Amino acid sequence: SYDLTQPLSVSVALGQTAAISCGGDNIGRKSVHWYQQKPGQTPVVVIYRNTNRPSGIPERFSGSNSGNTATLTISRAQTGDEADYYCQVWDNTIAMFGAGTKLTVL
Amino acid sequence: EVQLLESGGGLVQPGGSLRLSCTASGFTFSNYAMTWVRQAPGKGLEWVSDMTGFSGHTYYADSVRGRFTISRDNSKNTLFLQLTNLRADDTAIYYCAREDGRASDNWFDPWGQGTPVIVSS
């Protein structure tokens, strides 16, 4: 199976930029999607196909994907961005999620 | 507005069965593949199964293949997940989600609110 590696936690100062990585073998050749899950809430897609933002998602959220690492970047971090973030890819017909990264805004 | 509403969860003994339902509204249900994702208490997201819209092709995670069966009734805009031979490690919130994209790289949007399944004696 295809393994995705995410850091367990990332901390960022209020107003600064957070980067959450998602590592995988040649993940740059795959399409990566990112989900935000706030405590007690349902997951929401924040980036799809590596770099695309759904309507309603702030421009502060951006994505990139190259080589063995995909990255979700959150600029001007706010307390409301505190959540678990999951990357997701397809391994043939099986969807795979990373283990998730807990973002803390200090 | 696109909405997904799951139901059917509950407490079941090990070895037991449950049938989960996901009723969709606000979009042409038959045009979309649909998926089930679960989340064990305090854990991350785990994809369980999905089913294409028209052709009805089904796919399963290794952890549930042979025990869970996904199906859909396009006339009733409803997705199902039949859970059998349940184990303690099947305890989780089960979410249904619509798949968006070109089939080869679909993402999940939106998600339902989830229905809890607790497997315990």
- Structure confidence by residue, pLDDT tens digits, B39-74: 999 999 999 999 998 888 999 999 999 999 999 999
B45 closest CB neighbour out of A48, A86, A90: A86
Residue B104 has pLDDT above 80, yes or no: no
CB-based contact A49 B107, cutoff 8 Å: yes
Q: Which residues of B touch A97 (CB under 8 A)?
A: 37, 44-47
Distance CA B17, CA A24 (A): 36
What is the nearest CA distance from B70 to chain A, expressed in angstroms? 14
Number of Cβ atoms within 10 Å of the Cβ of B18? 21
Whether chain A has a CB inside 8 Å of the CB on B44: the answer is: yes
Average of per-residue pLDDT values in chain B: 96
Share of chain A above pLDDT 70, in %: 100
Confidence at residue B24, expressed as pLDDT on a 0 to 100 scale: 98
Q: Which residues contact A102 (CB under 8 A, 6 or more apart)?
A: A8, A9, A10, A83, A84
In sequence order, which ranges of chain B are alpha helices (DSSP H)?
none
Q: Is pLDDT larger for residue A2 or for residue B102?
A: A2
Distance CA A69, CA B105 (A): 17
The pLDDT tens digits for B23-33 are: 999 999 999 99
Examine residue B110 and say whether the peptide bond preceding it is cis (omega within 30 degrees of 0). Answer: yes
- Let me know how long chain A is: 106
CB-based contact B104 A90, cutoff 8 Å: yes
Dihedral of alpha carbons B46, B21, B88, A37, sign: positive
Distance CA B86, CA B91 (A): 9
Question: How far is CA B74 from each of CA B30, B43, B98, rounded to the nearest angstrom?
Answer: 5, 32, 13
CB-based contact A43 B111, cutoff 8 Å: yes
Average of per-residue pLDDT values in chain A: 97
Share of chain B above pLDDT 90, in %: 93
Among left, alpha and beta (phi > 0; psi -120 to 50; other), residue B67 is: alpha
Token digits of residue A25: 């073998």
